[in-house]
Amino acid sequence: MEMNSKKRLAKHLKDFTNIGTALSTESDINKFFQLVLNAAIEFTNCDGGTIYLISENKKFLDFKTICTLSKNLLLGMADTAKWPSIPLFDKNNQKIFKNFASYVANTKKACCIDDVYHQNIFDNSGTQKYDTENNYNSKSMAAIPMMDHEKELLGVIQLINAMDENGEIIPFSDEHLSSLTSLTSLAAVALTNRNLIDNLEKLLLEFLQSIATAIDRESKYTSGHIKRVAKLSDMLANAVQNDNAHYSKTKFSENELQELSIASWMHDIGKITTPTHIRDKSTKLEIVFDRIELVLTRFDFIEALIKKDIFYLKNDVSKKELNQLLKLLKKYRKFIIKMNSGGEFLENDAIDKIEEIAEFHYLSDEKEYYLINDNEKNNLLIKKGTFLPEEYEKMREHVIVTHEMLSQLTFPKKFKNVPKFAASHHELLNGKGYPFGLTADELPIQSRIITIADLFEALTSSDRPYKKMKTLTETLKIMAFQVRDNCIDEHLFNLFLDSKIYLQYAKTSLDSEQIDDVNIPKIKEIYHENNKK
């Protein structure tokens, strides 16, 4: 008899060691609870049990997993989601002891019942109803509260019908209760650690998102850009997950999806160092303010000088010449206002006209007056957009800063690629992107997803001051040419089109006038024809 006890004790110690290791390494919360319940059933040789977790507001016990061996019943978290929670407090916020699980939860004491039909601890009407509906015979019960290191309730493990070696129902013993208490302590420590890790990761994501939101809000023109890119990235990643064609063998784990999501939220974090007056440069002449007003004030002053000179002149020929000069200034004024807005391309005629205006000067009272200075001329000569080359380079620096900032953070190992994914959204498959000039072989699918999301959002954005908002057709044509030139991923772009992500996004995020009928075959011809050549 003593030998059997020693063997049983040795087996229990081995089982506890194994279950402790398993609980500390299991990342799937559903499997975690099943491990705990299976171990509890095995240690007590009972027919089944239930695990409840305390709700977020601490007022309910929520079902997490249920097992009844004799009924072949094993339900995980997804299956028990529709089961009603057990209230711990009434409407007057008084503790409820009516249910066995709520009794143990509120007393925070383990409890055994030899026969649920002959006890005065809790109301067994619910048990009677279950037994009647399922042709079951509930008799012995045990319940143990799961507590953390601060004696806060985490949940309850409830077991039913302990059995002897012959399968006869017996009461739960003190030995059972001792084993269950030890198991529950192990489970509580593992669950507390897991909750701590989950909460830290949640805090990290929320903090990073708050930083990204703050960066977005800093600019009056790109507010919401980062959030929209993150949304598009998630949509495209999910499409890859569900694709049964080109990406049938590409499946992201839950951690990989979260890693991609974090990277998309962080892709523009480097803009925190980009001067606001550059980020928000809505016109060519803008610095801290739009210097067009200063230029137009010069126009007004020179026009006033000319009108004064006309008034004092007696020579009709000279008066006529000055009146012609006033008409010319009027044309110059209209042209300068137009040129101050950034465009897609600056024609040679426009360049010549700007040079002509820069050369203009008017002599009055032996003083020379000019319409624009050299700096203003250089800004007006910007061929595309509103940035000077040095300002454009300053804008490009944000990806370097993004990589530097994120590389200094100690991300969990499962998120180690966040810096690379986030900082490579301006890299191109042909190696002509920035900041590192990476080639296709060096660009993982996650980076390619963020690149497409960032490009589509930027093209369709209605709040960029240096360009008019584009329709879906205009946007997708530009992206198709990017595919043709081996800048962005063809297979991902095909999926972006075929899964109609562009349209789903447009219906919730774009102006109605941007949503036109897109001829997808025509869009694809742009890069398919290039492939034929």
**Model pLDDT for residues 221-250, shown as the tens digit of each residue:** 666 889 999 999 999 999 999 999 999 999
497-515 pLDDT, tens digit per residue, is 999 999 999 999 999 999 9
Task: Report yes or no: 141 and 116 within 8 Å, Cβ to Cβ.
Answer: yes
Query: Tell me, what's the pLDDT at 11?
Result: 59
What CATH number does the domain containing 479 carry?
1.10.3210.10
Helices 254-266 and 445-460 cross at an angle (nearest 10°) of 40
- How many domains would you assign to the chain? 3
Assess whether 139 and 238 both reside in one domain.
no
Question: What's the angle, vertex CA 459, arms to CA 222 and CA 233, rounded to 5?
Answer: 80
Task: Report yes or no: 181 and 64 within 8 Å, Cβ to Cβ.
Answer: no
Assess whether 259 and 404 both reside in one domain.
yes
Assess whether 311 and 249 both reside in one domain.
no
pLDDT exceeds 60 at position 485: yes
Query: Tell me, what's the pLDDT at 530?
Result: 54
Question: What's the angle, vertex CA 446, arms to CA 441 and CA 452, rounded to 5?
Answer: 95
Task: Report yes or no: 431 and 439 within 8 Å, Cβ to Cβ.
Answer: yes
Assess whether 274 and 334 both reside in one domain.
no
Tell me the C-alpha distance between 169 and 161, whole Å.
6
Assess whether 305 and 450 both reside in one domain.
no
In the listed set 359, 380, 401, which residue is the last one of a domain according to the structure?
Answer: 380
Assess whether 161 and 253 both reside in one domain.
no
Strand 46-54 relative to strand 73-75, pairing? unpaired
Query: Tell me, what's the pLDDT at 2?
Result: 44
145-203 pLDDT, tens digit per residue, is 998 888 889 999 999 999 998 889 999 998 888 888 888 888 888 788 777 777 778 88
Q: Which domain holds residue 315?
A: 292-380
Residues 28-42: what's their mean pLDDT?
81
CA distances from residue 243 to 237, 248, 445 in whole angstroms, order as listed: 10, 6, 14
CA distances from residue 290 to 78, 270, 284, 357 in whole angstroms, order as listed: 58, 25, 8, 19
Mark 234-266 as b/e (b = at least 16 C-beta within 10 Å).
bbbbebbeebeeebeeeebeeebbbbbbbbbbb
CA distances from residue 307 to 300, 330, 334, 371, 372 in whole angstroms, order as listed: 10, 13, 19, 16, 20
Query: Tell me, what's the pLDDT at 3?
Result: 42
Task: Say if 212 falls within a structural domain.
Answer: no
Range from 6-10, 115-119, 207-211 carrying the lowest mean pLDDT: 6-10
101-138 pLDDT, tens digit per residue, is 999 999 999 999 999 999 988 888 888 998 998 899 99
Q: From 108, 86, 96, select the one nearest 181 (Cα to Cα).
A: 108
Assess whether 267 and 308 both reside in one domain.
no
Assess whether 349 and 419 both reside in one domain.
no
pLDDT exceeds 80 at position 488: yes
pLDDT exceeds 70 at position 23: no
Q: From 261, 275, 264, 267, select the one nearest 219 (Cα to Cα).
A: 275
Percentage above 70 pLDDT, the chain: 90
Task: Report yes or no: 302 and 325 within 8 Å, Cβ to Cβ.
Answer: no
Kindly indicate the confidence band of residue 357, based on its pLDDT and cuts at 50, 70 and 90.
very high
Tell me the C-alpha distance between 28 and 90, whole Å.
34
Tell me the C-alpha distance between 422 and 226, whole Å.
11
Kindly indicate the confidence band of residue 371, based on its pLDDT and cuts at 50, 70 and 90.
very high
Assess whether 366 and 463 both reside in one domain.
no
Assess whether 372 and 416 both reside in one domain.
no
Based on its alpha-carbon atoms, the radius of gyration of the chain, rounded to whole angstroms, reads 36
Assess whether 89 and 188 both reside in one domain.
yes
The DSSP symbol for 366 reads: T
